[in-house]
Amino acid sequence: MEKAERKEEGWEPKVVAFVCSWCSSLGADQAGAEEGGHPAGVRLVRVPCAGRINPMYVVKALQNGADGVLVFGCHPGDCHYRSGNLTARRRLSLLKSFLEHLGVESERVQVCWISGAEGARFTAMANKVVEDTRRLGPAKKLVKAKK
């Protein structure tokens, strides 16, 4: 507990953002071409498709100390694997309600569709999650005690 409080001074939220290899990667890339297009605390993890994201990854990210998790996928209808984004949507909404049940605030895990041309949308969404988690404070629920 003491440790966590110390952490809060000058604390910057850490957000793991999963991006698919297609539209989302390009959108993130476009966002990055602008200065400030990526918030400082955001770390990207590339997967082939949002549908590849095992709910366990989200939990692991939170366990590893992420304060928020953001999942980017292609817009419905644009998935490069036809329907992976829709599978992801079902899976993650289920996970979210489960996490809420455990006491993880729903704003900590968010899902967003972007296209390769929507750099601004990437930035807006990434900032939103960073701000939401900043408001909520560090995620402590699932964090494993460090050895």
Partner 1 sequence: MIQEKDVERDVLVIGGGIAGMQTALVLAEKDHHVYVVDSAPAVGGFFPLLDRQFPTNSCGVCFMSPKPRAVCPTYESDFHRDIELLTNSQIKTVEGQAGNFTVTVGHKPTRVHAGRCTLCGKCEEVCPVEVPRELGAGVEKRKAIYMPFPRAVPQSFVIDEQACTRCGECAKVCPVDAVDLDEAGSEKALKVGAIVLAFGFEPFEAQRKGEFGLGRYQNVLSGIQYERMLSYGSPSEGVPQRPSDGKRPKKVAFIQCVGSRDLTCEAGYCSSVCCMYATKQAIVSNDRVKGLDAAVFYMDMRAVGKNYEHYYQAAKTDYGVRYLRSSISTLRELKRSGNLLIEYGTDDGQRKSEEFDMVVLSVGFSAPRAVKELAGRMGVDLNEFGFCATSEFKPTETSVPGVFVAGAFRGPRDIPESVVEGCSAAADVSSLLDDFEGRTPKAGRRAASEELDSDFVPRIGVFLCELKGKLGESLDLGALAELFGKERGVACVETVDVGEAWQALETIDARARELKLNRVVLAGYRALELTKAARTEEAVGPYVGVFEPVNIGTQCAEAHRGEPAVANSKAADMVRAGVRKAFLATPRKFVERNISTRTLILGGGLSGLAASLALAEQNMAVTLAEKSGKLGGNARFSHYTAHGEDIQALVAEKVAAVEANSRIEVLKNTELVKLEGSWGSYRATLKTEGQEKEVEHGAIIIATGAQQATTGQYMSVKDPRIVAQRTLEGMLASDDEKAVKARKVVMINCAGSRESGRPWCSRVCCVHSVKNALVLKEKNPDMQVYVLYRDMRTYGFYEKTYQQAREKGVVFVRYSVDDKPQVGLRDGALGVSFVDELVGERIELDADLVVLSTGIDPQDNRELADVAALKLTPDGFFAEANPKAAPLDAADRGKFIVGLCNAPMHIEEALCQAKAAAARASALLWSGTEYRPEARSRVNAVICAGCGNCVAVCPYDAIALDAERKHAVIDEVRCQGCGICAATCRSSAIDLDGFSNEQVLSVLSAL
Sign of the C-alpha dihedral computed for residues 39, 42, 123 and 4 taken in this order: negative
> With binding defined as CB under 8 A, does residue 145 bind partner 1?
no
For the CB of residue 53, give the shortest distance to partner 1 in the complex, in Å. Answer: 6
Question: Which DSSP category does 139 fall into?
Answer: -
Binding flags for partner 1, 66-105, as an x/- string (CB under 8 A): x--------xxxx-xxxxx--x---x--------------
CA–CA separation, 101 vs 96, rounded Å? 8
φ, ψ (nearest 5 deg) of residue 145? -65, 135
List of residues contacting partner 1 (CB under 8 A):
14, 16, 21-22, 25-26, 28-38, 40, 43-45, 47-49, 51-57, 60-61, 64, 66, 75-78, 80-84, 87, 91, 114-121, 124
